[in-house]
Amino acid sequence: MPGVRRGTCEDVPAVQRVGRRAWHAAHDDIVGADTVDAFLQRYYTPSRLETAITDTERVFLVATADDEVIGFADAEQSDDGDRTWSLARIYVDPDYWGAGAGTTLLGDLESRLRERGGRRLRLVVMAGNDAAIGFYEARGFGRVDDHYDEFLDVEGYVYAKSL
């Protein structure tokens, strides 16, 4: 089983590597490689990742195997005041898909959110990302709404679960 720990700024290059590999593997067939590259260039810059990692209002975790970062998760509290957290991102290197890293990472994240008083976790997933949809549904998430991402020009779904 992978280890899970709080992310650090030293993890940024590894998070970028995992993010790039996972985004291309999961989303190229849905939105195209060029769109994935544009997304990564915009949202996976060192400064954006460092801000997410160091923000004490967020929970940014990394999963490791043999001291190598193989996955990460990032959640922030929603503005609605009802103790809902938003899962901004959770990705595992495709070489580790199906090995339990995502399950371990999500379970640890949920535990930490409960410790912070979290009552609900929500996320958005692209329509057509059947692997992710199956992952979330198998872990107790239910579809609660539809979503459209203007930057990616793709339909998606909002999923949520009680913590």
pLDDT for res 82: 77
Query: In the sheet that 3-6 helps form, which strands lie side by side, from edge to edge?
Result: 3-6, 58-65, 68-77, 84-92, 120-126, 154-162, 142-149
Please give the domain boundaries of the chain with CATH numbers for all domains: 3-120 (3.40.630.30)
Task: Note the pLDDT tens digit of each residue in 94-139.
Answer: 999 999 999 999 999 999 999 999 999 999 999 999 999 999 999 9
Residues 6+ apart with CB under 8 A from 146: 155, 156, 157, 158
Task: Note the pLDDT tens digit of each residue in 9-45.
Answer: 999 999 999 999 999 999 999 999 999 999 999 999 9
How many residues in total does the chain contain?
A: 163
* Residues 136 and 102 sit within 8 Å (Cβ to Cβ): no
pLDDT for res 79: 74
